[in-house]
Structure 1
Amino acid sequence: MKSVAVKSRLGTRGRPEESRAAILQAAVGEFSREGVAGARTDAIARSARVNKALLYYYFKDKEALYGAVLDQVFGGLTKAIQHTLAQDLRPREKLLAYVGAHFDYIASHPQYPSIVQGEMMRAGRGRSVQFERITRQYFQPVFSRVGALLEQGMTSGEFRAVDPAHFIPSMIAVIVFYFSSAPVFRLLSGADPMSPERIAERREAVLDFISAALFRQRHQKSQGGRK
């Protein structure tokens, strides 16, 4: 008698990687739209096409699922940025590569700004049990490497004198604000700010703005350091 192979379907424990990935993808959308308080696990399970029992098999509660969403969102960005910062480039080229990688990640992950804003607001109210962990695990390593890059560029004379503690958050704001405020820009311009054409224009504008704010003109003689 021939044995018949049984193909497990999504939504069962027979396909754990696919089921977990589907739950996470659905959770990113739900948390970005509704926040932690408003997100519903039944809506996440329904969107992922799994039952709630399976959701709780992989994630013990909603907070654990939210923590996994933060890991996916921030982990993906950190991986892209760290890969860029590890390249053997001059400070000027590496800084532009970092800005481009940061911008491209957010452009391809439109839920990112909502997740970040929601977590920042939650932390500000003292309600986040995840914030210290993600700060140590994701924010701090990137902040340190970008800060070191700025110091290197100032020492070589490629960058003008700036305070990394202020320049880094300003630079990130220039990268991120456009996406978090896309609904406003849609009303102001009457055009889709998330269209490929507008995204390409914005990317070029961000690179130009940060270059003008940081880079010394190539024809200027370097004085070295922060003079």
Structure 2
Amino acid sequence: MNEPGGKRDPEGTRRRILEAATQQFSTLGLSGARVDAIATAAETNERMLYYYFQSKEGLYVAVLEAMYADFARHEVSLDLAGLPPSDAIRELARSIWDYFRANPRWLSLINNENLHEGQYLGRSPKLTEAISPVVDLLRGTLARGAAAGEFRADVDALDFYVTLAAMGYYLVSNRFTLKAFVGRNYSEPSVIEAVTKMQVEMLLAYLGPETAARYP
């Protein structure tokens, strides 16, 4: 299908639509985003948008899938297997938390989807494919730590991953309200470093075999 002016660049067109839609959805949400504005920003027309994504909701799901896929690619690119288990947990935690801070649009999309109670994410079969490699990466690290006697052996990898992600997510997604409420700017580098150190120590303390003996 030809672009306006007779050009054919299907991958480029699809990429531009996704980028324009990401901007619209992350700032205006699903209900506020406009198809005509997305098409204009992508330098195409509404007909092409519907050709590639069928509907506004279909485009929204595609944006969510793309954002989660990018996140998963970032995490599985880490060479955790080459690090001692404790260092691997530190690296994974810092990497996830740094990603959140570097990608505020992603957090905005997640917050918006929570307003929809996850109904659009639930339509996507691709999301499990995105999260599974990251959890498998963590599961392997936890197993290595348990085998070496550094970690307790009863840690659920998915629960630990969700807890780890939540620690960083909250401080980034709520940074503005936290500053207004408690008077501390959790976007300042010195504050980020201090809190990150504390959170990593909390995670490693939980993983310690002595914690399992104390709290069976």
TM class by smaller structure: 0.7 to 0.9
Q: Which amino acid aligns with 2:204?
A: S
Per-residue displacement from partner, 1:56-81 (whole Å, max 9, x unpaired)? 34322222212221222111110111
* Structure with a larger share of its residues in helix: 2
Aligned to 2:167: 174
The answer to whether the Cα contact below 8 Å between 1:23 and 1:45 also exists between their aligned partners in 2 is yes
The answer to whether the Cα contact below 8 Å between 1:67 and 1:130 also exists between their aligned partners in 2 is no
Aligned pair 1:82/2:76, yes or no?
Answer: yes
Judged with a 3 Å threshold, the aligned counterparts in structure 2 of structure 1 residues 132 and 16 are, in CA distance, closer, same or farther, namely closer
CA distance in 2, matches of 1:11, 1:160: 63
Task: Map 1:1-227 onto structure 2 (within 5 A).
Answer: 13-84=7-78, 87-124=81-118, 127-128=119-120, 130-131=122-123, 133-160=125-152, 162-164=154-156, 165-188=158-181, 190=183, 193-194=186-187, 198-215=191-208
How many residue pairs get aligned? The number is 210
CA distance in 2, matches of 1:183, 1:78: 27
Query: How far off is 1:191 after superposition?
Result: 6.1
Query: How far off is 1:18 after superposition?
Result: 3.9
> What is the RMSD of the two structures over their aligned residues, measured on CA atoms?
3.4
Query: How far off is 1:97 after superposition?
Result: 1.6
TM norm structure 1 = 0.73
CA distance in 1, matches of 2:142, 2:114: 25
Query: How far off is 1:200 after superposition?
Result: 4.6
The answer to whether the Cα contact below 8 Å between 1:85 and 1:98 also exists between their aligned partners in 2 is no
Judged with a 3 Å threshold, the aligned counterparts in structure 2 of structure 1 residues 195 and 55 are, in CA distance, closer, same or farther, namely farther
CA distance in 2, matches of 1:109, 1:57: 29
Helix, strand or coil at the partner of 2:67:
helix
Instruction: Give ranges in structure 2 of 5+ residues lacking alignment.
Output: none
Per-residue displacement from partner, 1:18-61 (whole Å, max 9, x unpaired)? 44333222211222233333322123223334332333343222
Largest Rg, 1 or 2: 1
Judged with a 3 Å threshold, the aligned counterparts in structure 2 of structure 1 residues 10 and 128 are, in CA distance, closer, same or farther, namely same
Instruction: Give ranges in structure 1 of 5+ residues lacking alignment.
Output: 1-8, 221-225
The answer to whether the Cα contact below 8 Å between 1:10 and 1:19 also exists between their aligned partners in 2 is no
Q: Which amino acid aligns with 1:142?
A: V
CA distance in 2, matches of 1:18, 1:81: 26
Judged with a 3 Å threshold, the aligned counterparts in structure 2 of structure 1 residues 53 and 107 are, in CA distance, closer, same or farther, namely same
